[in-house]
A and B are shown apart, each in its own frame.
Chain A
Amino acid sequence: MSTETLEKEVKEVKKPSEPLLSKKRKALLTNPLDEDNPITIQVLGICSALAVTVALKPTLVMAIAVTAVLVLANVVISALRNTIPNRIRIIVQLVVVASLVAIVDQVLKAYSYDVWKELSVFIGLIITNCIVMGRLEAFALGNKPWDAMLDGLGNSFGYAWIILAIAFFRELTGSGKLFGVKVLPEEYIGNGVMMSPAGACVLLGVLIWIIRSRNGYVED
């Protein structure tokens, strides 16, 4: 009880010095969208970016699933950060993430069975999605829950817009559809290369090229 009030006091003292959405915190949200993007700059979470982006619908579901898992896992790990022994932290992180993924998996199975079947193993692979582990290691273990939540939101939005962009081009050129609705004329014959993950790989390479020539990031 006493520690609780103490924490409250500390929080109240700190609050005026750092508003809920200070400049630093806004940067947590907006940086991952472009100059610190998890996919194009940090090279995290590539597996799912290539594997699930055949069409927009499963991609959107995947993006929502990753957002839910990443934000919750960030908050939980950040809340537990002072009680986790350093040596076993990876196993603790894996257990937290695996339980969250199991919940997401069951919710999807109940409410959106077709998409669940389509995504199959890739929902499970959110556990080892490097975005989740990477952000837990790099951010949640050293920051407060609110910051960790913003970081999780920012990174999952950065992830979401890249995979949605890839899915948009792949579905449009691959089958002439958007969200399963035909938008190109009937005569259009789908481009099989874009439907294959290999095409996605080349597309992602080109996308990275465009983004990096815009923001000037260069690898040595």
Chain B
Amino acid sequence: MENLLNIFIKSIFIDNMIFAYFLGMCSYLAVSKKYKTAAGLGMAVIFVLGITVPLNWLAYNFLLKEGALTWISEDFASIDLEVLKFIVFIAIVAAFVQLTEMAVEKFSPSLYNSLGIFLPLIAVNCSILGGALFLPTRDYEFAEAVTFGLGSGIGWFLAVVSLAAIREKMAYADVPKPLRGLGITFIIVGLMAFGFMSFGGFELPFKNKEQQQAEQEKTSQVSENVDPLSVANYSE
């Protein structure tokens, strides 16, 4: 349970989809002009990530991984279908998004009006596919994969809502003309990312495997001694 809480907090704050990996930037910049649309897309991302990551986990562990097909027959132990992971993952994401869109449109028109228009955007949102592509590099259990999916979604939601709030305020600011729009937004995102980096104790991204393992050991040690909610302790 402690492990799950660790992953949850880590995926929201430390490994935030936007501020640590910059995944889903295109739609992040496109919808963050208004608070309301930002919140709508954020909710849709939480929902889709929370469901497609476990789905892709199942696909990876029971279909794609080397020796994953042994549940059918022992003869398949040597088959490695990892080459197909891109097509399978994106097909699952696209199919799920299409199905959800159709279901929401049929059963809840009001929800469709607020959330449905964002669903097609989501199929091509890097954070959804990114979440799935992180699975092979991290050995998650099923429950951990669910937590990771939900946590990443909430992290994305937080990021997009806070940027939209800042941009709404910024309408009253006097920004140099060529910097208006995209330029100043990038600088703000950069500053926000610096803020979020303090959650990770100013560690550099793109760690190699050993560092990641060492860090994982460190964070799990920390969580044994100290309350895992006090994120500030991670910096040590």
Query: Which residues of A are at the interface with B, using a C-beta cutoff of 8 A?
Result: 40, 43-47, 50-51, 54, 90-91, 94-95, 98-99, 101-102, 105-106, 118, 120-121, 124-125, 127-130, 133, 192-193, 195-202, 204-206, 208-209, 212-213, 216-220
Please indicate the chain B residues that have their CB under 8 angstroms from the CB of A51 in the complex.
21-23
Please indicate the chain A residues that have their CB under 8 angstroms from the CB of B194 in the complex.
193, 198
Q: Can you name 30 A-B residue pairings with CB atoms under 8 Å?
A: A46-B22, A47-B23, A51-B22, A54-B206, A90-B123, A91-B95, A91-B98, A98-B87, A98-B91, A102-B86, A120-B137, A121-B137, A125-B129, A127-B86, A192-B202, A192-B204, A196-B205, A197-B19, A198-B19, A198-B194, A201-B22, A201-B189, A202-B187, A202-B190, A204-B186, A205-B190, A208-B182, A208-B183, A219-B181, A220-B180
- Let me know if B104 is at the binding interface, CB within 8 A: no
Looking at the assembled complex, report how far the CB atom of A36 sits from the nearest CB atom of chain B, in whole angstroms.
14
Inter-subunit contact B137/A209 (CB<8 Å):
no
Looking at the assembled complex, report how far the CB atom of B114 sits from the nearest CB atom of chain A, in whole angstroms.
22
Please indicate the chain A residues that have their CB under 8 angstroms from the CB of B23 in the complex.
47, 51, 125
Looking at the assembled complex, report how far the CB atom of B93 sits from the nearest CB atom of chain A, in whole angstroms.
9
Question: Looking at the complex, which of B25-33, B44-52, B227-235 is the stretch in contact with chain A?
Answer: B25-33
- Let me know if B197 is at the binding interface, CB within 8 A: yes
Rounded to whole angstroms, the CA-CA distance of A94 and B22 in the bound complex is 21
B107-131 interface bits toward A, Cβ cutoff 8 Å, 1 = contact, 0 = none: 0000000000000100111101110
What residue of chain B has the Cβ atom nearest to residue A100's Cβ? B86
> Which of A101, A128, A217 has the most chain B CB atoms closer than 10 A to its own CB?
A128
Inter-subunit contact B124/A133 (CB<8 Å):
yes
Please indicate the chain A residues that have their CB under 8 angstroms from the CB of B124 in the complex.
90, 94, 128, 130, 133
Rounded to whole angstroms, the CA-CA distance of A220 and B178 in the bound complex is 10
Inter-subunit contact B90/A98 (CB<8 Å):
yes
Inter-subunit contact B94/A212 (CB<8 Å):
no
Please indicate the chain A residues that have their CB under 8 angstroms from the CB of B180 in the complex.
218-220
Inter-subunit contact B83/A208 (CB<8 Å):
no
Please indicate the chain B residues that have their CB under 8 angstroms from the CB of A209 in the complex.
176, 178-179, 183
Rounded to whole angstroms, the CA-CA distance of A78 and B175 in the bound complex is 41
> Which of B21, B184, B186, B189 has the most chain A CB atoms closer than 10 A to its own CB?
B186
Rounded to whole angstroms, the CA-CA distance of A91 and B133 in the bound complex is 19
- Let me know if B153 is at the binding interface, CB within 8 A: no
Inter-subunit contact A198/B123 (CB<8 Å):
no
Rounded to whole angstroms, the CA-CA distance of A100 and B143 in the bound complex is 33
- Let me know if B134 is at the binding interface, CB within 8 A: yes
Please indicate the chain A residues that have their CB under 8 angstroms from the CB of B133 in the complex.
121, 124-125
- Let me know if B193 is at the binding interface, CB within 8 A: yes
Rounded to whole angstroms, the CA-CA distance of A106 and B184 in the bound complex is 38
Inter-subunit contact B190/A201 (CB<8 Å):
yes
Looking at the assembled complex, report how far the CB atom of A169 sits from the nearest CB atom of chain B, in whole angstroms.
14
Inter-subunit contact A202/B186 (CB<8 Å):
yes
Inter-subunit contact A101/B193 (CB<8 Å):
no
- Let me know if B54 is at the binding interface, CB within 8 A: no
Rounded to whole angstroms, the CA-CA distance of A201 and B190 in the bound complex is 5
What residue of chain B has the Cβ atom nearest to residue A219's Cβ? B181
